[in-house]
Structure 1
Amino acid sequence: MGRVLPLLALRAFAETGRHGSIKRAAEAMGVTSGAVSQQLRLLEQRSGAPLFSRTRYGVELTEVGASVHPAVLRAFDQIEHGLDLLEARNAAQSITICTVPSFAASWLVPRLGRFTSRHPEIEVRVEASSELVDLRKGRVDVAIRHGLGDYPGLDAIHLMAPELIPVASPALLAGGPRLTEPGDCLAYPLLQDSDRADWRLWLKAMGIEGDARIERGPSFDDDFLLIRAAEAGQGIALIRDIYAKEEIASGRLAVAIERPWPTAFAYYAVTLPHVAERPAIARFVAWLMEEAQAG
């Protein structure tokens, strides 16, 4: 006990005996053939006995080498099995979540501490990206997406359906025309989403169509940017209510006119089927549902 073991030399011995070839052992270890040969010489010097003899086909174990090789090989196989178990356990307790930056910043991240307090054994990694991900590739465990819930071959769990509300800087509203009807918003610059669809759909739901002013105004590809532009007094923005709660509560934004509009789109937690087979994922999705219901 307490001896320093020549693990690299023993691994070279185990792999060379397994493959009957120094070259193939080197490939298995990711080193050069010369490095394997050097380690074998060191082990033979330490043991005081030859472990391999050369043949026309490669190398073969000597009588001494053959007597100890099964035990050494079994030991490395057990180490590798133990490492596999360790990595599998770590993977089972680590999950990656992907969602759009605005949802991550405004809703998910501020609440995430409650999950880690409840489940400190689960490590959560959050990726904020607007790009679609392929859950089947295994990099992402849960995708939180805004849509209609139609995700073929995947499980989509409804979380919440935010409403669109028109918001603006209080200073802009105080210095501009009075807003009493939805159509009065057209007297202000409109801050558009990337598709320039939200204002058109919201005004159509309010009975207003065909006005050229509906399509004008700068567009932004993320709600977080829309919020910042509205805070800066650049116009009125249509924002999902869950994104603007903090800004409204602090007075940085104000609701321009009380006409919330519930769209058909909602947020879903999207996973591969059989999510219960990964308890960490199942616990995270259950927590998401609980937080969404709490508002």
Structure 2
Amino acid sequence: MGAVLPLLALRAFTEAARLGSLKAAAEHMGVTPGAISQQIRQLEDRLGVTLLLRGRHGVQLSDAGARLFPGLSRGFGQIENALLELESFTHEQTLTISTVPSFASTWLVPRLGDFSARHPDIEVRVEASARLVDFQRERIDIALRHGLGQYPGLESIPLMAPVLLPVASPRLLAEGPPINSPQDCLNYPLLHDTERADWPLWLQAHGVEADSRSQRGASYDEDLLLLRAAASGQGIALVQDNHAQEDLHNGRLVVALDRPWPSRFAYYLVTRKEALKRAQVQAFIEWITQQAGAA
């Protein structure tokens, strides 16, 4: 046969024989049926034998193919198992964290150098996304989310509850209807961050069933832009209290509604119960709870 094994052709033959179909083999390998057929023909030409008998209902092994298939099937199975073991080993050394982009850029990433210095053997991978995490299908170890702590079937650890103030320009509030309760904020345009999650959660934390009005309004990717939009009278913004202090002091903004902050509206570390057994996960939990306590 020669020194160089035609691995692609051998794999095409093995999958076609296992599945009994050139089309099914092509779908499994991510190529066209024509490519599978060509690879098998080239292999047959090289070996000088017919390996597959093509019929109306698929393909069947010839006598020569039946002698070749078991060994190849075992060989490719061993290769796949070896790759799975390597992937599992690599995953054990990697900690994958999912969080929303704003929290990743402003809080988590600037602090991760400290974690890496303390745990140089743990490789941290950050996925910045606002979408929900499917822990059953995705290789995510930990999700950091801002919410009410309601994560059925998962373990959640409260980290910190930064106070968000509803702020607006004095003129907007003077010319609009009075705000005596969280529900009254819905009578105004609401200004959002890019995730558009804070207003619905803030209202829910105060016992208000958020309707479609809680999702309407312009969105901005930074608190500074939210503050400028609110100061110009575009609506009410929810921003961290320390970010709004200068504008509140200068009178450009006022607090639209002064209510005690609901402590359950916080940042949470969310993970699967079985993930808590991993030393890497425990190390990160210990580190981030210390960081949150010092924030």
Could you state the TM-score of these two structures normalised by the residue count of structure 1?
0.61
2:182 counterpart of 1:189:
no
Q: Which residue of 2 aligns with 1:220?
A: 191
Alignment partners' CA distance in 1, 2:171 and 2:269: 31
Q: Which residue of 1 aligns with 2:211?
A: none
Residue 217 of structure 1: CA displacement? 8.6
Alignment partners' CA distance in 2, 1:237 and 1:112: 29
Alignment partners' CA distance in 2, 1:254 and 1:137: 45
Q: Which residue of 2 aligns with 1:3?
A: 3
Alignment partners' CA distance in 2, 1:25 and 1:283: 44
Match of residue 249, structure 2, among 251, 256, 275: 256
Q: Which residue of 2 aligns with 1:72?
A: 72
Alignment partners' CA distance in 2, 1:31 and 1:226: 48
**AA at the equivalent of 1:95:** T
Alignment partners' CA distance in 1, 2:71 and 2:111: 52
2:51 counterpart of 1:51:
yes
After superposing the two structures, state which structure 1 stretch, 31-40 or 3-12, moved more: 31-40
Alignment partners' CA distance in 2, 1:19 and 1:237: 58
Residue 81 of structure 1: CA displacement? 1.8
The superposition leaves residues 224-267 of structure 1 with CA deviations (integer Å, 9 ceiling, x where unpaired) of 744445479938987535x64xx98xxxx48739xx98623232
Alignment partners' CA distance in 1, 2:294 and 2:53: 73
Q: Which residue of 2 aligns with 1:275?
A: 275
The superposition leaves residues 119-169 of structure 1 with CA deviations (integer Å, 9 ceiling, x where unpaired) of 46423223253x6x25446445433333443433322202123346899xx
Alignment partners' CA distance in 2, 1:61 and 1:69: 10
Name the SS of the counterpart of 2:268 in structure 1: strand
- Give yes or no for contact 2:95–2:141 (8 Å, CA) kept in 1: no
- Give yes or no for contact 2:190–2:237 (8 Å, CA) kept in 1: no
Aligned-residue identity in percent: 39
Q: Which residue of 2 aligns with 1:145?
A: 145
- Give yes or no for contact 1:190–1:237 (8 Å, CA) kept in 2: no
- Give yes or no for contact 1:145–1:267 (8 Å, CA) kept in 2: yes
Q: Which residue of 1 aligns with 2:253?
A: none
Q: Which residue of 1 aligns with 2:159?
A: 159
The superposition leaves residues 93-142 of structure 1 with CA deviations (integer Å, 9 ceiling, x where unpaired) of 251412362x333322221232344346423223253x6x2544644543
Q: Which residue of 1 aligns with 2:111?
A: 111
Alignment partners' CA distance in 2, 1:227 and 1:190: 20
Residue 274 of structure 1: CA displacement? 2.6
Name the SS of the counterpart of 2:146 in structure 1: strand
Residue 73 of structure 1: CA displacement? 1.6
Match of residue 231, structure 2, among 230, 234, 254: 234
Matched positions, count: 249
Unaligned runs of 5+ in 1: 168-185, 203-211
Unaligned runs of 5+ in 2: 199-220, 251-257
Residue 7 of structure 1: CA displacement? 0.9
Name the SS of the counterpart of 1:149 in structure 2: coil
Q: Which residue of 1 aligns with 2:123?
A: 122
**AA at the equivalent of 1:263:** W
RMSD of Structure 2 on Structure 1 (CA): 4.6
Residue 14 of structure 1: CA displacement? 1.9
The superposition leaves residues 5-58 of structure 1 with CA deviations (integer Å, 9 ceiling, x where unpaired) of 211111122234434554554454344444333322322332234434567874
Could you state the TM-score of these two structures normalised by the residue count of structure 2?
0.61
Alignment partners' CA distance in 1, 2:172 and 2:137: 37
